[in-house]
Structure 1
């Protein structure tokens, strides 16, 4: 409507003034409701053409969008394992610090597993003390068998010496008996040493391995027990938290609530989606203006800091069907990142607010080029000038936004 009024001042109004004061035609006589088209056909046609050209120029070189928002991250409050709630430590909308306990789950089974693991460690340590006693006993047994074997060897050596001297007091049966006794004692010594080595292996290898396995089982049981206590991973505010003792929560079926981190909210960055037709117009460093529903009657100067180099509608995920372009639901938008031109101007805008934005083509650097032609110079001047129309439209929208929202839509 504003563009039509401006164009009519340059077309319809001069046409009317010419016919009124040059041709002498009067409203209500020669110019009436039925003859207005014929009498002002040149002005009306020129107004229509100029309005279309002006609107096209404005919306192409100074694009606008109603899809602007500041996104923020949320963390789902979920336990690592399902269970029944035994205690709740926070309430809804409470600010919590990282590491603060949110709620506990029933951990009777995990506590029993921890006690069992501790008992197993105590049992293994007791077996280590018993093994030390067995080692002392087997060492004493080895010493005893060595002494008996030494005595048997001395008796056999004495009898062999007497036989070599030809003594009649030595009998071959006695020598054979002593030889068999020495062999028996040597076998007993090997068996005693084997028992001693077995006990030593238990002390140095088996029992430490059993103790390490029991300690690992205890650590695993303690980890499972720790999972029954849910803590805040980051500092933030708890939202949609209506948990009570006795409720059942699960990482797959039922979360406990949402944690909105406060330190990671980008209050000075907004994401805007402009039409694909403006992809060649919007550039980093381009000036813009923004107005939000949460801050009416306010227009914030912005600047384009970054442009996403892909359009979301072209995203492909692997599946068992080939993607057909005709199935695209709607054309994607060019994702543009905006930041306030002056720091702090958008700090009081809540994250997630819906906003409007205009971006303005800025040709000052090109207009300062002395080699620029007259026609191009005039066109660039016209492009920069008509941006004021879009700026006025944005301000008019911000003025009418509360009325339109509260009165006509009822929200």
Structure 2
């Protein structure tokens, strides 16, 4: 409407004035409803062309978007394993900080496994003490068998020396018995050596390995007990959280709730512009927006980042070829904005849908390129035409509550 009124002032109004005062034609007499097109065809045609050109120029250099929102992050509340809820520490819509406990699962099975591991460790410790005594007993038997072997060898050697001097005193059967006794003593000594080695190996390797296994089982059980208590990973607000003791939790089929995380840093809003605005929306661009959550308020924003890709072109490799005609939606240009005055966005809940208009500023471009005269005036005029969108966004801020509460 503003563009049409401006176009009429420089096209249709001069044409009417010329017809009235230069040609002497009067409205309602020479100029009637039936011949108004013929009489004012130049003014009407120029007005239409100028109005369309102005609207195109304004909306190109001052883009608008009704797709502005402030995203927020949610964290699903899950446990490591499924189980039955034993205790619940927070209520729905409670404010929690990072590290606060949320709920605990029943740990009877894990506690029993931990107690079993502790008993195994005590049993292994007792077996280690017994193994030291077994080593001492086996060493004593080894000493006795070695003494018997020495005695048997001495007896055999003595009888052999006697037999060499007087063969009639020592019989062949006696020498054979003494030789067998030496073999038996050597076997007993070897058995005692094996017993000592087995007892030593059991104390040095087998029992410590069993104790390590019991310690590992105890650590696993204690870890499962610790993981049975679910803590808040980030600070935020717990929502959709209706757990009661006795409920069954499954990390795949039934999460416990949702944690809406606090936003770190300044509030950011994402705006989706049409692709034709890709050459206009740049970092540092001024955006004015209004939100139904905070009516009658204009919030100045500044573009801090423009996404260099459009989501409509993304794809995931699969076993089917992609056909371009399947991509029906053209996609929008994503601009990330921050408020110039952070206090202005207070009262606008995250997730609110807002509307905004952008304003170009070519003053830096004019200065860098040294533009003067008509060229500089054209860029200044383009920047000045943004006042129409400024009027529009303020009118929308006034109309939004009326439209939502009365005409909806």
* Smaller-chain TM-score bracket: over 0.9
1:88-167 paired onto structure 2 within 5 Å: 88-166=88-166
Partner of 1:220: 220
CA contact (8 A) 1:78 1:251 kept: yes
1:37-48 paired onto structure 2 within 5 Å: 37-48=37-48
Of 135-144 and 59-68, more deviation after overlay is shown by 135-144
The CA distance in 1 between the partners of 2:146 and 2:367, in whole Å, is 111
The CA distance in 1 between the partners of 2:368 and 2:196, in whole Å, is 100
The CA distance in 2 between the partners of 1:9 and 1:241, in whole Å, is 63
* Structure 1, unaligned runs of 5 or more: none
Cα displacement (A) at 1:167:
7.6
1:282-321 paired onto structure 2 within 5 Å: 282-321=281-320
Assess, with a 3 A threshold, how the Cα gap between structure 1 residues 370 and 155 changes in structure 2: closer, same or farther. Answer: closer
Question: Is residue 2:396 matched to residue 1:397?
Answer: yes
CA contact (8 A) 1:291 1:300 kept: yes
The CA distance in 1 between the partners of 2:230 and 2:274, in whole Å, is 44
CA contact (8 A) 1:73 1:265 kept: no
Deviations 1:280-318 (A, max 9, x none): 122222222222222222222222211111111111112
Partner of 1:268: 267
Cα displacement (A) at 1:375:
4.2
CA contact (8 A) 2:303 2:335 kept: yes
* Structure 2, unaligned runs of 5 or more: none
Cα displacement (A) at 1:52:
0.7
Assess, with a 3 A threshold, how the Cα gap between structure 1 residues 231 and 294 changes in structure 2: closer, same or farther. Answer: same
CA contact (8 A) 1:290 1:356 kept: yes
The CA distance in 1 between the partners of 2:201 and 2:189, in whole Å, is 18
The CA distance in 2 between the partners of 1:79 and 1:188, in whole Å, is 62
CA root-mean-square deviation = 2.1
CA contact (8 A) 1:267 1:346 kept: no
Partner of 1:68: 68
The CA distance in 2 between the partners of 1:85 and 1:370, in whole Å, is 69
Partner of 1:87: 87
1:2-21 paired onto structure 2 within 5 Å: 2-21=2-21
1:180-259 paired onto structure 2 within 5 Å: 180-259=180-259
Q: Secondary structure at the match of 1:362?
A: coil
The alignment of Structure 1 onto Structure 2 pairs a total of residues equal to 408
Deviating runs (4+, > 6 A) in structure 1?
none
The CA distance in 1 between the partners of 2:102 and 2:213, in whole Å, is 33
CA contact (8 A) 1:88 1:245 kept: yes
Partner of 2:348: 349
Q: With structure 1 as the length reference, what TM-score do the two structures score?
A: 0.92
Cα displacement (A) at 1:266:
4.7
Of 164-173 and 268-277, more deviation after overlay is shown by 164-173
Partner of 1:360: 359
Deviations 1:237-256 (A, max 9, x none): 10111112222221111111
CA contact (8 A) 1:68 1:271 kept: yes
Deviations 1:247-282 (A, max 9, x none): 2221111111111122x4454322111111111122
The CA distance in 1 between the partners of 2:253 and 2:237, in whole Å, is 23
